[in-house]
A and B are shown apart, each in its own frame.
Chain A
Amino acid sequence: MTRPNPRLRALFLGAGYAFLYVPILVLMVLSFNDSAMMTTWTGFSLRWYHELFADRALLEAARLSLIIAAFTATAAVVIGTWAGYVLARMGRFRGFALFVGLVSAPLVIPEVVLGISLLLMFVELSDLLGWEGSNGAFTIWVGHVILSMAYVSVIIQSRVRDLDRSLEDAALDLGASPVKVFFQIVLPLIAPALVSAWLLAFTLSLDDVVIASFLTGPGHTTLPLEVFSRVRLGLKPEINALATLFMLLVAVFVLIANRVQNRRGYSA
């Protein structure tokens, strides 16, 4: 079989990956720079890491973000798996096109649109019901679930489709109820996909600035909100240290997840 031109291949892949990774590497190197000016290298130092861990506001924001992300990921996996299963196994039904549209809309809708529409809904709700507490962690959670369940259902939908349907049919023929079939056959088979979907939802929530800006309330500053308010006017050395830690953590996460999936003979 003819192989693609190796020189062109090296050129495009080399340039492409350099584009994707050079900024991250630059940031990591800068995080160890002693200078506060950050544009000239004055020496190796862990000073910004020390400052990072002494920074109360950042740590508090990180705590809130991690909590919201964990709740978001869990809820998004439940609802997203449900929606993905409906897409994969229920065939056509009335409103199918609308359902597909709604499920995948958050993948493309600009986040400012999601943010303002949810905020206006919560405002109307509190106006209508006199419902207090419409601002803060709960509202951010709802916004993040809506955003990340779209990604979850896409992942789960394609995973369920790849399952051998005769297993489910056999169990049904032997008298198992559909609910039992789902929990005892489908769920164990898609478990690796559930794990990666959970992690993806977690990181999406941990990263979101825009939706959180609309839905946050007093005293509920998430990590991205805190970071964004500091960096929109330029470079902040302690944020370099934060970014380095964050990216190393994610890299380890993804590599481990990939190992696990490959060992199970399942390739993404």
Chain B
Amino acid sequence: MLRAPHSWRRVLTIAPPFVWLILFLLLPFLLVLKISFADLQFGVPPYTALAEFKDEALSIVLNLRGYVLLFTDSLYVATYLHSVKMAAITTVCCVLIGYPMAYYIARSEPAVRNLLLIGVILPFWTSLLLRVYAWIGILRNDGLLNNLLMAFGLIDQPLEIYRTDLAVYIGLVYAYLPFFILPLYANLVKLDTRLLEAAYDLGARPWSAFISVVLPLSMPGVIAGAMLVFIPSVGEFVIPEMLGGADTLMIGRVMWTEFFNNSDWPMAAAVTCVMVLLLLVPMVLFQYGQVRQLEMRGGRR
């Protein structure tokens, strides 16, 4: 079904959102890259220019202070590793909790399914800030969880959870679980159940039918959901700041400190660039999935 579209019309349709995105998304990011090579200076803006034209000579100075510091100071390296580790564990937990939930929601009766789906979407719509804040009241030493456990005599001393890594894990899984369930659910609900029936008819046991039929078919949903959890978790700021201790090292926090507390913009930019570099593989994986999904759906018509 190919109409010969007027090409200027096409250009006029495609260009405005494209230009907007380039202007406010691509360009800003290139500026971060540029400033990561600048040096700190007093004044407005608080960094040096890369290129200078003086005495008929164009001098371009690439300052590597930020990057050198990043790769030599063991604190930065440890922070990056720790962030990736926390995001990875969060993602695994989301898969373990989210997959069965998405699966059982998708296999429910349509009326029940709709209700269950609202149950997942509702937290997604409510303030993340307030929902993470809610955990403070539960996890504190004198909070609900410790009070309950002590009332039942399970522990004598309050468990130290609030302001530890464990609290951050709980917060991250809690915040990002809907992001995993929703794309996976969208995938699972489209699953042709006749394939499962065929597997049963051919004598497959429920588990092996699940592993050899459902699991492979749902992989695109799992990957999309896992990326939606992993990538933002690595750079998360609010959750470690509210639930974590002073020693909960995460890149988002370090970058925040460099920017707001130390006012070292070039350093903050360098931290950001390396963060994006680190996330490049999962991001490309996610984007590739998006493009492929679009092309597959486009080709079907």
Chain A: residues with CB nearer than 8 A to chain B?
Answer: 1-5, 8-9, 12-13, 15-17, 19-24, 26-27, 30, 38-39, 79, 82-83, 85-87, 90-93, 95-97, 99-113, 116-118, 120-121, 123-124, 127, 142, 145-146, 157, 161, 165, 169, 172, 178, 199-200, 203, 206-207, 209-210, 213-214, 224, 227-228, 231-232, 234-235, 239-240, 242-243, 246-247, 250-251, 253-255, 258, 262, 267-268
B17 on the interface (CB 8 Å rule)? yes
Known contacts A87-B294, A246-B127; is-contact A118 B133 (Cβ 8 Å): no
Are B133 and A112 touching (Cβ within 8 A)?
no
The listed residue (A13, A19, A93) touching B10 by CB distance below 8 A is A93
Chain B interface residue count, CB cutoff 8 Å, equals 99
For residue B279, which residues in chain A have a CB less than 8 angstroms away from its CB? 108, 110
The complex places the Cα of A228 from the Cα of B144 at a distance, in Å, of 22
Are A120 and B116 touching (Cβ within 8 A)?
no
B194 to chain A, nearest CB (A): 9
Known contacts A224-B129, A228-B238, A246-B130; is-contact A116 B272 (Cβ 8 Å): yes
Are A146 and B118 touching (Cβ within 8 A)?
no
Chain B: residues with CB nearer than 8 A to chain A?
Answer: 1, 3, 9-10, 13-14, 16-18, 20-22, 24-29, 31-32, 35, 44-45, 97-98, 100-101, 103-105, 107, 114, 116-123, 125-131, 133-138, 140, 142-144, 147, 174, 177-178, 193, 196-197, 200, 206, 227-228, 231-232, 234-238, 241-242, 252, 255-256, 259-260, 265, 268-269, 272, 275-276, 279, 283, 286-287, 290-291, 294-295, 297-298, 301
Measured CB to CB, the nearest residue on chain A to B123 is: A20
The complex places the Cα of A20 from the Cα of B121 at a distance, in Å, of 11
The complex places the Cα of A207 from the Cα of B130 at a distance, in Å, of 9
Between B116, B134, B137, B193, the greatest number of chain A beta carbons within 10 A of the residue's beta carbon is seen for B134
For residue A142, which residues in chain B have a CB less than 8 angstroms away from its CB? 24
